[in-house]
């Protein structure tokens, strides 16, 4: 059930079950409810093995201290703009390593999402939609897990590497796509819980007990097989496959010099883990770097946070490129919003969604391109204004999908991206 | 007796069903009429349907459904060996009267009503105890609902019942949605802004009619009482417009049930609107309370939706699927699989004054409930609405946790440790913390109904997690300890299967156990743990069949 | 400078003297040694000079970024053709030398000082050396007559926020973001010891960032006391939730003599501190508005305070010992008279 209206009232969200009105059959798990068995959508693209890397700069990174510097203006702050590997494109001096790989990146500088609230801004940037009371939209990660992933991939389709303290499965971000495509959070880049075989259990013994289990299941399921029992028995195979891939989560399997290159701090380690996961077949990996919500001492804190971001990010892009993966990996560097051009009394910048920037790279993206311009002081978009909907279209197009298509839930068409927006062609290859 | 032979013929059964419920009630018990209705819906039902469940099948199923856990090996042996022809009825009655049943049904009601919302205002323990004692006293459902919908949290004695309101912050929109879903089986959520676009029966006026019982209420942290309670104003009218209406006509409504008459609101003398007047930092109590009308109006035998909802939900609890499915989308375009049967059940539970225990008893006595889950055509999943075969029900997180504790012998070990202090309450107090990780891994997100899901994180939890592993470590009188003391592999296999799967092993299974132990003769304890784990992780254990 | 007998100084009678307005927020301010001018560094990349009596304003252009660090060279070594010098340091790491006097001073020397911000400058008592510090973790010593770099003092592990010469000229003090205060032997160029001002530093675990530092630092005239100003009790670095604190060290022993705090709770940072020759300590803060406090060295709580029009970011004492200058967020320098 979905409303095209933004009803404007709180507490008006529909759960996934709302779609199952009148559905028959005991097989009601999302696994059999495959919205893509409609002629409108094919799975051919799954075979081309694409993947997505989302860098989430949590708190709202300042566009003036990153992608759209305005040195020497009232709003520009103390930092200089530096040239990049692309003649004509300058970014903030705080991103020297990133400046060297600008030819891989595209910038969208005309972003206006008109939402200065953290969670609402984050919602827009994750789903390509404004928050609506009657409808929960799935995250890009869940959508990509669905469109790009395959059922025999043991890795969770949507992996979220977060700083310490946030872990687990967040089944709400998959919305109507179902919990199967929900993000799995890896707190502080630790592997999913219980991934290691208990010390006292040998591999042989584990194998033997699984065999015993399988035989028991075969007997039972001879006459009691349902979609739910299938899903349950399969989950052990998935778990076993994921256990075999346990090393993907261990960055210490990399040579020390590589760990050094990324940086021996959280974000560096997490970027390295993201690379391993992407190389290992992960479909969508989101890495969170926190925090950028610099209402106070914006400049000192951006020195610190971007100082952490710059090198591992550039290293990661370089590595993906060197390994031939960049052209099939869509990369986005996003935040919930930007920061005010106005500098407040505490050397801070506040929330600002009216004229800000994000960066893209990789699959389907035209490296070295820029879409949009802000005015001299960055107080408004001067050219090619776009919103979160346009970005979502752009991501899908970059991955090779027709972003104007629909999901089909219970035979009801649901546009995969906001129908009022379209891809930003200037940044597409 | 003559009547029962006549009733075997479908056509006559249909004729009898056309008679008034009052006549039928006098004639045949509910469980028989259930079976008639089920059989009547399918031509050649007798051939299509599975055989009755075996004693072992029935035993496990009834224990899970009525007490939330599997039985012990000793209980299995006793039941299987019991020659009495009434043993199933006796067992049903014994379980319904047990403290474990009260605890289990209380837990079911907790998850139903609170959907695992965080415990901010009322401690979970107090709320669960309220539900448990209500079930133990066989408090009728309508009375329970009236209590829940009329408590304002101010009186310590009735405060736990106010949890339904309080944890939802007394937010009228959320309450309207959840009350319509959980007590009326009608999800009016979409009607907040307009008539339901797809469901003709659900109207915006219905939404706001319910909303009007609650719009004057709010959550207040009362400084004197030093806690959050419900406050209510004496004024505040409800108006609404449809976002689909270009003319933007404004309508208004007073409190009323969907399709119900408007309620008479008591006129109050000016200046005397309040029993406790509004003051900042404390709750106000109006002389005439709209909210106080909600419970008595909604939770009544006169309310068709109310009785259908509880009948349907209790049916789903036992049978694995509501006659109306999903449970909160009862409307004319989503008819029940057996419309007459649902009406019968609704009228029956109302006639027995919402006695849930009596109703559950009838369901348990039916052949429909006691049918085997074994499919006649292997691999072909039958139509669930046919009830030709009993439906598999995934264990809830709580059932899974308790059953694992029972199967591994943890409960028995704890019972032994407590000795004569081993009451249900004492065991529950000791062991319920073990349920938390299972709720975390298998439970629904807060605010959503419990649904089955099979994620690899859950498989990892069961395969490698410390909880189950710990329970499989030998400890005096637990499963692995007991198995370790049995040298005869046949007897060992029996003890294993009786404890874990609530049945005796087949010849094939006995051989498998023997072979496994032979291969693993060097580390017998580990072998026992591994076999036990394999069965605990099997589909047969995970599902209630 | 007036020669008439000045009334007794009484901080409790501190009042606003004059406002000098600029159209961009200011970061730092200093009186020049002759007492004629007040200079300020601004967010529009300019240094601004006001003649105190006439109010005449001159904008000194030449920097390419914000300026907070200001220091003067006085004494025989400082003069180049009878000019007294102002040194200003900016956030692209450059140090410019200007003549203090003249209608329109222009930079007469540019030192490529540091990689990243120059946070503070100090001139040795004999006027021969300029000390600078900054984001490259370095402290540098420059020759004022020749302009060449004499020494790089490495050892800090983070941004160096402040430098000050001991009045005896033999020691240089530098202090950083993490509250480490190093004492350097100027002649040898070696770190001798450290003082602990770590109370002025916090790693905020929710925002995962370092916050604090010694924002302002000064010696008493006799060199016995060292005051370090900053923020403490930080519970939310990104919202600036914390309280001003001035740590008063007994320089010789390195021990904390007093922790000077506002009597009335104030949310913000202590941005400027001076130790008056008469022994009291003045500090300014900015956060939820601006405040001026006065303390005695033997009492942790201020004996007098004054609300300021808005966030104050720096504080200096006039050579006459009665006037204070403060640099404000609203772009003004305000002078206050203590008495």
Is there a cis peptide before residue C195, judged by omega within 30 degrees of 0? no
Q: Which residues of A touch C207 (CB under 8 A)?
A: 59, 290-291, 293, 301
Give me the pLDDT at residue B26, please. 58
Residue whose token pair is 């939209």: A137
Beta bridge partners of A160: A185, A286
Which of B344, B367, B386 is where one domain is finished? Answer: B386
The Cα–Cα gap between B73 and B75 comes to 5
Same domain as B13, residue B91: yes
A412 vs B145, residue with greater confidence: B145
For residues C205, C208, C212, C213, the Cα torsion angle rounded to the nearest 10 degrees is 120
Same domain as B425, residue B374: no
Same domain as B370, residue B421: no
For residue A362 the two structure tokens come to 């990789």
B386 in A contact zone (CB under 8 Å)? no
DSSP H helices, B137-264, are 141-150, 163-166, 172-184, 204-214
Pairing of strands A105-111, A370-371: parallel
Which of B386, B415, B447 is where one domain is finished? Answer: B386
Same domain as B280, residue B201: yes
For residue A258, how far is the Cα from the chain centroid? 24
Query: Is the distance from CB of C120 to CB of C163 less than 8 angstroms?
Result: yes
Has residue C50 been placed in a domain? Answer: no
Q: Shortest CB distance from A20 goes to which of B326, B463, B539? A: B326
Examine the pLDDT at A326 and tell me if it is beyond 60: yes
The Cα–Cα gap between B147 and B141 comes to 10
Which of B370, B386, B402 is where one domain is finished? Answer: B386
Give me the pLDDT at residue A31, please. 28
Q: Shortest CB distance from C238 goes to which of A74, A80, A295? A: A295
Give me the pLDDT at residue B457, please. 85
Q: Which residues of C touch A342 (CB under 8 A)?
A: none
Each residue of C16-58: pLDDT tens digit?
999 999 999 999 999 999 999 999 999 999 999 999 999 999 9
Query: Is the distance from CB of A168 to CB of A177 less than 8 angstroms?
Result: no
Q: Which domains does chain A have, with CATH numbers?
A: 39-191+250-427 (3.40.720)
The Cα–Cα gap between B273 and A377 comes to 58
For residue A167 the two structure tokens come to 């872990």
Nearest Cα residue in chain B from A182: B455
A124 Cα to chain B: minimum distance (Å): 22
A188 in C contact zone (CB under 8 Å)? no
A6 Cα to chain B: minimum distance (Å): 9
The Cα–Cα gap between A312 and A261 comes to 7
The Cα–Cα gap between B160 and B148 comes to 9
**How far apart, in Å, are the Cα atoms of A304 and each of A20, A192, C159?**
49, 29, 10
Q: Which residues of B touch A22 (CB under 8 A)?
A: 329, 333-334
Confidence band of C80 (pLDDT split at 50, 70, 90)? low
Test the A interface: residue of B239, B379, B463 with most A CBs within 10 Å: B463
Count up the domains in chain B and report the number.
3
CA angle C246, C250, C254 (to 5 degrees): 100
Has residue B143 been placed in a domain? Answer: no
Interface A:C, Cβ pairs < 8 A: 71
Has residue B136 been placed in a domain? Answer: no
Beta bridge partners of A108: A358, A371
Same domain as B294, residue B156: yes
Q: Which residues of A touch B543 (CB under 8 A)?
A: 224, 228-229, 232
Q: Shortest CB distance from C238 goes to which of A78, A80, A301? A: A301
Packed helices A388-398 and A118-127: angle between N→C axes, nearest 10 degrees: 30
Test the B interface: residue of A223, A240, A411 with most B CBs within 10 Å: A223
Using the beta-carbon criterion (under 8 Å), do C311 and A345 form an inter-chain contact?
Answer: yes
Using the beta-carbon criterion (under 8 Å), do A198 and B373 form an inter-chain contact?
Answer: no
Q: Which residues of B touch A215 (CB under 8 A)?
A: 512
Q: Which of A159, A143, A146, A148 is nearest to A49 (CA)?
A: A148
A344 Cα to chain B: minimum distance (Å): 36
Length of chain C as a residue count: 339
B189 Cα to chain A: minimum distance (Å): 6
Has residue B115 been placed in a domain? Answer: no
- Judged by 3 or more CB pairs under 8 A, whether C touches B is no
Query: Is the distance from CB of A361 to CB of A367 less than 8 angstroms?
Result: yes
Q: Shortest CB distance from B385 goes to which of A24, A192, A222? A: A24
Each residue of A3-58: pLDDT tens digit?
333 333 322 233 223 222 222 222 223 322 333 333 333 333 344 699 999 999 99
Has residue C326 been placed in a domain? Answer: no
A239 Cα to chain B: minimum distance (Å): 5
Q: Is the dihedral of CA C200, C204, C210, C216 positive or negative?
A: negative
Residue whose token pair is 């693209």: A45
Pairing of strands A158-162, A284-290: parallel
Has residue B121 been placed in a domain? Answer: no
DSSP H helices, A34-173, are 96-100, 118-127, 140-148
Touching B: which chains, 3+ CB pairs < 8 A? A
Residue C193's Cβ-count burial label (10 Å; 0-12, 13-18, 19+) is exposed
For residue A262 the two structure tokens come to 């990324």
Residue range of the domain that includes B531: 393-544
Same domain as B375, residue B514: no
Give me the pLDDT at residue A140, please. 97
Q: What is the overall mean pLDDT for chain C?
A: 94
Q: Is the dihedral of CA A90, A93, A99, A105 positive or negative?
A: negative
**How far apart, in Å, are the Cα atoms of B15 and each of A377, B6, B155, C289?**
84, 11, 53, 86
Using the beta-carbon criterion (under 8 Å), do B326 and A210 form an inter-chain contact?
Answer: no
The Cα–Cα gap between B338 and B340 comes to 6
Using the beta-carbon criterion (under 8 Å), do A208 and B520 form an inter-chain contact?
Answer: yes
- Judged by 3 or more CB pairs under 8 A, whether C touches A is yes
φ, ψ for residue B237 (rounded to 5)?
-100, 155
Query: Is the distance from CB of A161 to CB of A287 less than 8 angstroms?
Result: yes
Packed helices A388-398 and A140-148: angle between N→C axes, nearest 10 degrees: 20
The Cα–Cα gap between A219 and A232 comes to 15
Give me the pLDDT at residue C135, please. 98
Has residue C102 been placed in a domain? Answer: yes
Q: What is the overall mean pLDDT for chain A?
A: 87
Give me the pLDDT at residue B6, please. 43
Count up the domains in chain C and report the number.
1
**How far apart, in Å, are the Cα atoms of C10 and each of B166, C14, C280, C302?**
59, 7, 10, 14
A140 Cα to chain B: minimum distance (Å): 20
Query: Is the distance from CB of C214 to CB of C197 less than 8 angstroms?
Result: yes
C89 in A contact zone (CB under 8 Å)? no
The Cα–Cα gap between B392 and B369 comes to 12
Has residue B501 been placed in a domain? Answer: yes
For residue C326, how far is the Cα from the chain centroid? 11
Same domain as B323, residue B214: no
Using the beta-carbon criterion (under 8 Å), do B197 and A172 form an inter-chain contact?
Answer: no
Q: Which residues of A touch B384 (CB under 8 A)?
A: 24-26
Q: Which of C258, C295, C289, C290 is nearest to C273 (CA)?
A: C295
Q: Shortest CB distance from C210 goes to which of A80, A290, A304? A: A304
**How far apart, in Å, are the Cα atoms of A298 and each of A346, A379, A380?**
8, 17, 20
**How far apart, in Å, are the Cα atoms of A178 and each of A19, A131, A142, A170?**
11, 19, 9, 11
Length of chain B as a residue count: 545
Residues 19-78 of B with CB under 8 A from A: none
Half-sphere exposure of A328 (CA within 13 A, CB side): 17
Using the beta-carbon criterion (under 8 Å), do A205 and B520 form an inter-chain contact?
Answer: yes
Using the beta-carbon criterion (under 8 Å), do A228 and B454 form an inter-chain contact?
Answer: yes
B422 Cα to chain A: minimum distance (Å): 33
Same domain as B463, residue B325: no
Touching A: which chains, 3+ CB pairs < 8 A? B, C
Has residue C269 been placed in a domain? Answer: no
Give me the pLDDT at residue B216, please. 94
**How far apart, in Å, are the Cα atoms of B385 and each of A22, A45, C198?**
12, 38, 71
A66 in C contact zone (CB under 8 Å)? no
Query: Is the distance from CB of C336 to CB of C15 less than 8 angstroms?
Result: yes
Give me the pLDDT at residue A21, please. 26
Same domain as B318, residue B248: no
- Count the neighbouring beta carbons within 10 Å of the beta carbon of residue B261: 8
Test the A interface: residue of B376, B457, B474 with most A CBs within 10 Å: B457
For residue B213, how far is the Cα from the chain centroid? 27
A301 Cα to chain C: minimum distance (Å): 7
φ, ψ for residue C202 (rounded to 5)?
-150, 135
Question: Percentages helix, strand, coil for chain A, rounded to the nearest 5?
Answer: 35, 20, 45
A260 Cα to chain B: minimum distance (Å): 32
Nearest Cα residue in chain A from C44: A74
A72 Cα to chain C: minimum distance (Å): 7
Beta bridge partners of A82: A91
Half-sphere exposure of A306 (CA within 13 A, CB side): 27
Name, in order, each residue with C-beta under 8 angstroms of B92's C-beta and a sequence gap of 6 or more.
B62, B66, B361, B364, B365
Half-sphere exposure of C91 (CA within 13 A, CB side): 26
Has residue C298 been placed in a domain? Answer: no
Query: Is the distance from CB of A83 to CB of A99 less than 8 angstroms?
Result: yes
Test the B interface: residue of A151, A212, A217, A414 with most B CBs within 10 Å: A212
Using the beta-carbon criterion (under 8 Å), do A348 and C240 form an inter-chain contact?
Answer: yes
Q: Which residues of B touch A234 (CB under 8 A)?
A: 454
**How far apart, in Å, are the Cα atoms of B323 and each of B30, B48, B329, C267?**
16, 19, 11, 63
DSSP 8-state assignment for residue B383: P
Pairing of strands A406-409, C57-60: unpaired
Query: Is the distance from CB of B510 to CB of B490 less than 8 angstroms?
Result: yes
For residue B85 the two structure tokens come to 């022809």
Using the beta-carbon criterion (under 8 Å), do B173 and A9 form an inter-chain contact?
Answer: yes
Q: Which residues of A touch C211 (CB under 8 A)?
A: 297, 300-301
Using the beta-carbon criterion (under 8 Å), do C207 and A59 form an inter-chain contact?
Answer: yes
Residue A14's Cβ-count burial label (10 Å; 0-12, 13-18, 19+) is buried
A163 in C contact zone (CB under 8 Å)? yes
Query: ipTM of the assembly?
Result: 0.94
Confidence band of C5 (pLDDT split at 50, 70, 90)? low
Has residue C8 been placed in a domain? Answer: no
C158 in A contact zone (CB under 8 Å)? no
Residue range of the domain that includes C74: 62-196
For residue B263 the two structure tokens come to 């309620």
Name, in order, each residue with C-beta under 8 angstroms of A262's C-beta and a sequence gap of 6 or more.
A268, A269, A271, A272, A311, A312, A315, A316
| Diameter of chain C measured on Cα atoms | 57
Return averaged pLDDT per consecutive 10 residues of chain B, 545 residues in all. Answer: 45 51 66 96 90 97 98 97 97 98 98 95 97 98 98 95 96 92 89 73 89 95 91 90 79 90 88 91 93 96 96 98 93 91 97 98 98 81 88 97 98 93 96 96 84 86 96 95 96 98 98 97 96 98 98
Has residue C56 been placed in a domain? Answer: no
Using the beta-carbon criterion (under 8 Å), do A208 and B540 form an inter-chain contact?
Answer: no
Q: Which residues of C touch A266 (CB under 8 A)?
A: 208
For residue B514 the two structure tokens come to 């023997």
Same domain as B199, residue B83: no
CATH of the domain at C104: 2.130.10.10
Is there a cis peptide before residue B326, judged by omega within 30 degrees of 0? yes
Name, in order, each residue with C-beta under 8 angstroms of A161's C-beta and a sequence gap of 6 or more.
A185, A186, A189, A270, A273, A274, A285, A286, A287, A288
Has residue B485 been placed in a domain? Answer: yes
Same domain as B498, residue B411: yes
Same domain as B312, residue B283: no
The Cα–Cα gap between A26 and B388 comes to 13
């Amino acid at each position: 059930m979905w409303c095209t209206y933004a009803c404007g009232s709180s507490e008006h969200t529909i759960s996934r079950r709302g779609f199952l009105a009148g559905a028959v059959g005991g097989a009601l798990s999302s696994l059999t409810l495959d919205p893509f068995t409609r002629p409108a959508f094919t799975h051919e693209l799954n075979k081309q093995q694409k993947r997505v890397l989302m860098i989430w700069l949590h708190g709202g990174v300042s566009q003036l201290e990153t992608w759209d510097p305005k040195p020497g203006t009232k709003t520009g702050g103390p930092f200089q703009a530096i040239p990049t590997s692309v003649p004509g494109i300058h970014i903030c001096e705080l991103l020297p390593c990133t400046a060297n790989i600008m030819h891989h990146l595209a910038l969208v500088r005309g972003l206006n999402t008109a939402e200065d609230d953290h969670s609402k801004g984050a919602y827009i940037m994750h789903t390509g939609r404004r928050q609506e009371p009657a409808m929960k939209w799935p995250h890009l990660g869940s959508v990509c897990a669905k469109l790009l992933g395959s059922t025999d991939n043991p890795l969770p389709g949507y992996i979220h590497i977060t700083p310490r303290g946030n872990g687990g499965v967040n089944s709400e971000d998959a919305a109507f796509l179902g919990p199967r495509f929900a993000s799995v959070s890896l707190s502080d880049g630790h592997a999913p819980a219980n991934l290691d075989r208990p010390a006292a259990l040998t591999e042989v013994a584990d194998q033997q007990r699984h065999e015993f289990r399988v035989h028991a299941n075969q007997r039972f399921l001879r006459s009691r097989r349902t979609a739910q029992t299938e899903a349950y028995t399969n989950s052990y195979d998935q778990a076993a496959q994921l256990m075999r891939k346990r090393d993907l989560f261990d960055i210490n399997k990399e040579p020390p010099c590589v760990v050094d290159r990324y940086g021996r701090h959280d974000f560096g380690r997490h970027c390295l883990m993201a690379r391993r996961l992407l190389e290992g077949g992960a479909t969508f990996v989101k890495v969170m770097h926190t925090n950028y919500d610099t209402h106070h001492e914006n400049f000192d804190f951006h020195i610190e946070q971007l100082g952490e971001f710059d090198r591992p990010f550039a290293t990661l892009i370089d590595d993906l490129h060197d390994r031939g993966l960049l052209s099939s990996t869509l990369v986005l560097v996003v935040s919930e919003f930007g920061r005010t051009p106005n500098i407040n009394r505490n050397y801070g910048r506040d929330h600002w969604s009216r004229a800000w920037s994000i960066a893209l790279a990789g699959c389907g993206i035209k490296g070295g391109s820029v879409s949009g311009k802000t005015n001299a002081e960055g107080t408004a978009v001067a050219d090619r204004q776009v919103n979160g909907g346009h970005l979502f279209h752009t991501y899908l197009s970059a991955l090779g999908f027709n972003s104007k298509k629909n999901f089909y839930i219970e035979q009801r068409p649901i546009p995969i991206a906001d129908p009022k927006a379209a891809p930003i062609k200037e940044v597409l290859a | 007796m003559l009547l029962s032979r006549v009733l075997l013929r479908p056509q006559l059964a249909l004729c009898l069903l056309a008679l008034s419920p009052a006549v039928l009630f006098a004639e045949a018990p509910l469980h028989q009429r259930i079976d008639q209705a089920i059989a009547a819906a399918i031509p050649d039902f007798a051939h299509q349907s599975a055989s009755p469940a075996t004693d072992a099948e029935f035993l496990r199923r009834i224990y899970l459904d009525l007490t939330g856990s599997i039985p012990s090996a000793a209980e299995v042996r006793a039941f299987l060996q019991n020659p009495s022809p009434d043993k199933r009825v006796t067992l049903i009655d014994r379980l319904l009267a047990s403290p474990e049943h009260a605890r289990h049904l209380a837990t079911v009601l907790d998850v139903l009503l609170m959907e695992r919302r965080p415990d901010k205002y009322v401690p979970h323990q107090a709320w669960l105890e309220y539900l448990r004692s209500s079930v133990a006293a066989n408090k009728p459902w309508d009375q329970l609902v009236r209590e829940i919908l009329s408590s304002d949290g101010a009186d310590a004695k009735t405060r736990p019942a106010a949890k339904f309101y309080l944890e939802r912050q007394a937010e009228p929109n959320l309450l309207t949605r959840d009350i319509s879903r959980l007590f009326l089986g009608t999800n009016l959520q979409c009607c907040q802004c307009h008539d339901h676009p797809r469901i003709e029966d659900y109207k915006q006026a219905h939404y706001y009619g319910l909303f009007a019982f609650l719009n004057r209420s709010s959550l207040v942290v009362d400084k004197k009482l030093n806690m959050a309670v419900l406050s209510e104003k004496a004024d505040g009218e409800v108006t609404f417009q449809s976002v689909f209406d270009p003319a933007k006509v404004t309508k208004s409504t007073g409190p009323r049930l969907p399709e119900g008459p408007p309620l008479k609101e008591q006129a109050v003398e000016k200046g005397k609107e309040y029993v406790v007047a509004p003051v900042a930092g404390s709750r106000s109590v109006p002389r005439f309370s709209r909210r106080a009308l909600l419970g008595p109006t909604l939770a009544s035998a006169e309310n068709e939706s109310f009785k259908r909802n509880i009948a349907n939900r209790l049916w789903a609890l036992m049978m694995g699927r509501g006659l109306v499915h999903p449970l909160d989308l009862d409307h004319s375009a989503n008819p029940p699989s057996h419309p007459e049967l649902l009406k019968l059940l609704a009228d029956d539970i109302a006639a027995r004054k919402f006695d849930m225990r009596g109703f559950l008893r009838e369901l348990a006595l039916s052949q429909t409930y006691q049918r085997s889950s074994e499919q006649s055509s292997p691999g072909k999943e039958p139509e669930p609405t046919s009830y030709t075969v009993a439906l598999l029900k995934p264990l809830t997180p709580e059932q899974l946790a308790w059953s694992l504790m029972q199967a591994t012998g943890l409960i028995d070990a704890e019972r032994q440790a407590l000795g004569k202090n081993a009451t249900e309450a004492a065991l529950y107090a000791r062991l319920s913390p073990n349920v938390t990780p299972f709720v975390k891994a298998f439970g629904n997100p807060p605010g959503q109904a419990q649904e089955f899901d099979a994620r690899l994180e859950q498989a990892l939890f069961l395969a490698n997690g410390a909880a189950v592993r710990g329970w499989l470590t030998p400890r005096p009188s637990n499963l692995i300890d007991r198995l370790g003391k049995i040298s005869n592999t046949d007897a060992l296999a029996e003890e294993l299967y009786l404890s874990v799967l609530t049945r005796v092993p087949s010849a094939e299974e006995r051989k498998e156990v023997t072979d496994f132990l032979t291969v693993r003769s060097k580390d017998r304890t580990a072998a026992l743990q591994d076999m036990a784990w394999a069965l605990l992780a099997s589909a047969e254990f995970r599902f209630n069949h | 400078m007036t020669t008439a007998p000045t009334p007794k100084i009484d901080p409790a009678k501190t009042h606003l003297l004059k406002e000098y307005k600029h159209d961009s927020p200011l970061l730092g301010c200093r009186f020049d040694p002759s007492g004629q001018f007040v200079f300020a560094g601004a967010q529009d990349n300019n240094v601004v000079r006001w003649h105190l009596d006439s109010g005449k304003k001159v904008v000194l252009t030449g920097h390419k970024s914000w300026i907070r660090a200001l220091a003067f060279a006085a004494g025989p070594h400082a003069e180049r053709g009878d000019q007294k010098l102002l040194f200003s340091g900016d956030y692209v790491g450059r140090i410019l030398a200007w003549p203090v006097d003249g209608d329109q001073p222009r930079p007469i020397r540019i030192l490529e000082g540091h990689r990243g911000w120059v946070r503070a400058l100090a001139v040795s008592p004999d006027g021969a050396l300029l000390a600078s510090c900054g984001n490259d973790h370095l402290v540098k010593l420059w020759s004022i007559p020749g302009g060449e770099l004499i020494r790089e003092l490495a050892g800090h592990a983070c941004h160096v926020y402040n430098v000050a010469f001991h009045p005896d000229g033999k020691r240089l003090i530098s202090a950083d973001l993490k509250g480490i205060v190093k004492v350097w032997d100027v002649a040898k160029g070696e770190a001798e010891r450290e003082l602990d001002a770590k109370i002025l530093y916090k790693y905020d675990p929710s925002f995962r960032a370092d916050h604090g530092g010694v924002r302002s630092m000064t010696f008493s005239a006799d060199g016995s006391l060292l005051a370090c100003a900053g923020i403490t009790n930080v519970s939310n670095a990104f919202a600036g939730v914390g309280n001003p604190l001035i740590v008063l060290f007994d320089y010789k022993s390195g021990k904390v003599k007093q922790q000077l705090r506002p009597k009335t709770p104030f949310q913000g940072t202590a941005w400027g501190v001076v130790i008056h020759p008469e022994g009291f300590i003045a500090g300014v803060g900015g956060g939820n508005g601006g405040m001026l406090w006065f303390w005695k060295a033997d009492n942790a709580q201020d004996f007098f305070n004054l609300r300021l029009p808005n966030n104050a970011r720096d504080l200096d004492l006039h050579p006459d010992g009665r006037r204070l200058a403060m640099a404000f967020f609203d772009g003004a320098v305000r002078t206050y008279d203590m008495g």
